[in-house]
Amino acid sequence: MRRHDLDWLRVIVFSILIFYHVGMFFVPWDYHLKNNILYPNLKWPMLFVNQWRLPILFVISGMGTYYALSKKSGFSFIKERIWRLFLPLLVGMLFIVPPQVYFERLSTLEFTGNYFEFWPSKAFLGSYPEGNLSWHHLWFLPYLLIFSLILVPIFLYLKNHKENRLLKLTERLASSTFGLFWLIFPLFIYNSILAPNYPSTHALVGDWFNLINYITLFFFGFILISVKETFWKTVMHHRKIYLLCGILGFSFLLLIWLVFERSPLIYYMESLVRAFNTWSWIMTIFGFAASYLNGRNAFLSYANESVYPFYILHQTVTITLGYYLMNLDWGLLSKFTLMVFGTFGISLLIYEYGIRRWKFIRPLFGLKQNKLTAASDEEVPKICLSEQS
């Protein structure tokens, strides 16, 4: 059975990504461009979203892989992953990301010419941040490609041996209210041991915390969707309990950040609470989505197709707008609103008139080549590259 709630979650979470990247322009955290005035308190809602935003995307991606493998052989799946992930990554690194680096170099006075003096002659010299070649926000694509290639033999085994012990254990855990909370312990170990030694870089090489953490969540997504209604009934029935767990978990995190002195004991406590909080919100979101969003409409069909191109385009639009707004004497609300609506609006125009209608352009942004006038549920591609049956 098709799960429209996963389609909705994919659209919603990637829409949140636009708000998040606009927010990065205004908070004290490291980012490619910064506003002339920073707003430290804006980090609190962003910290809340940070707890589950990327983890749930990898879980959804694992679920999508289950549907893709249900209709394809292992070879066909691998071929499609390379086509749908590597080609947009290459196009993005050649044409979409360089304007971001260009405006960053202008803002720091490391470069002073026009764009075509920067691209292509200087755009691909050296690796970012010392050089200019980068995948920036498109890091999700190579990570997802590598996870898919590594895990496909295991996924095929699980697909062809449905009575194996792992899936039986997952089904037993999913049958009880808190059974699936046993899955937080690997996340706790990664947070407590790997995270301090391998800070997040999204550079692939040496990014061990992200690699191991996200491949685990990707794997969790596959095994959870494999037990089907057992999982969905549990998260729907106990969604309010999981919501309470999430509220308590994030509240405790705030207490740790704001009140407690740093010590080894507090650090391990924070790591455990982080894992608990992340998983609570993932279970909450799945529960409420399954209860209220498992229906289709025309907007969802259109949005599902547009999500992948929007993801590829959006940060370049955001940074371009930010460069021209960063030194204006405007308030937070004015700049934030203009950047959000501008990012959505300009990305929509580029997608609708520059990508969607052109069959030779569509594959460059991860879309199927056939021109769609009204995307059906069977035709729409997914940013997480699932193909639900």
pLDDT of 244 reads 98
Tokens coding 298: 């025309």
Where does the chain show beta strands of DSSP type E?
A: none
Q: Is residue 389 part of a domain?
A: no
Go through 80-96 and write b for each residue having 16 or more CB atoms within 10 A of its CB, e for each that does not: ebeebbeebbebbbeeb
pLDDT value of residue 379: 36
Burial of 171 (0-12, 13-18, 19+ CB in 10 A): middle
Number of separate domains in the chain = 1
Asked whether residue 375 is domain-assigned, the answer is: no
321-342 pLDDT, tens digit per residue, is 999 999 999 999 999 999 999 9
Instruction: Note the pLDDT of residue 371.
Output: 52
Is residue 108, in this structure, part of any structural domain at all?
Answer: no
Q: pLDDT per residue over 300-325, tens digit each? A: 999 999 999 999 999 999 999 999 99
The answer as to whether 102 is a domain residue is no
Q: What is residue 377's predicted lDDT score, i.e. its pLDDT?
A: 39
Residues in the chain: 389
Question: Is the predicted pLDDT of residue 352 greater than 60, yes or no?
Answer: yes
Position 111 in a domain: no
pLDDT at 389 over 90: no
Confidence band of 252 (pLDDT split at 50, 70, 90):
very high
pLDDT > 90? residue 236:
yes
Q: What is the mean pLDDT of residues 29-45?
A: 96
Contacts of 223 (CB under 8 A, 6+ apart): 62, 158, 166, 167, 170
Mean pLDDT of the chain: 93
Residue 378 predicted with pLDDT over 50 = no
In a domain, 66, yes or no: yes
Compute the distance between CA of residue 343 and CA of residue 341 in angstroms, rounded to an integer: 5
Domain of residue 343: give its range.
4-97+135-365
pLDDT score of 96: 98
Question: pLDDT exceeding 70 applies to what percent of the chain?
Answer: 95
If pLDDT is split at 50, 70 and 90, which confidence band does 3 have? Answer: confident
In a domain, 107, yes or no: no
State the pLDDT confidence band at 383, using cuts at 50, 70 and 90: very low
- Model pTM score: 0.93
In a domain, 214, yes or no: yes
> Is residue 388's pLDDT more than 50?
no
